[in-house]
Amino acid sequence: MTDPRYPIGKFSYSGPLTADQKKQCLDNIEQTPARLREAVRGLSGSQLDTPYRDGGWTVRQVVHHVPDSHMNAYIRYKLALTEDNPTIKPYMEDRWAELPDSRQPIENSLAMLDSLHRRWTIVLHNITDPDWQRTFRHPELGPMTLEKTLALYSWHGQHHVAHITSLRKRMGW
């Protein structure tokens, strides 16, 4: 049985990415908002408030988490493209998921994700080959290249969409 925490497996990066892998990652990031919208289409309030696994976040919290996380990634890209190896500030995603905005209707977060990804993909599609090796320093993970971060967020969107689609399948929704 698949671990419900990692329905598509844990993130792994064995870089550097080939041109085709990079294109696939870019496509995945670009398609994340539409895939997330499709994953939650037609869910009721009680379904949105169902945890995707025992002890896990609710579907609603997952939906609010994705733009929170991707907003941080977008800012990290902009920092790395404009500064030399900046140290970023991580955030406590578990605590963010408990804030009042994570219990609100999901449409605002879906709209935010749409808008954010339109801007983010413009930045991503215009990164030059040498700039993919630019870095930011994560206090817990160390230096992160923009290329590795691309792979991470390609996985991240698919990972959370799969939390929802796997739950729907298990529950027969």
Q: What one-character DSSP code corresponds to residue 128?
A: -
Residue ranges of the alpha helices (H) in 52-97?
59-82, 93-96
Report the pLDDT value the prediction gives residue 90, as an integer from 0 to 100: 95
- Please state the pTM of the whole predicted model: 0.96
Residues pairing with 87 in the sheet: 137
Query: All domains of the chain, ordered by start, with CATH?
Result: 57-171 (1.20.120.450)
pLDDT, mean of each 10-residue run, the chain (173 residues): 90 95 98 98 98 97 98 98 97 96 97 98 98 97 97 98 97 97
- Hunting for tokens 């930045």 — which residue is that? 123
- Hunting for tokens 């890209």 — which residue is that? 77
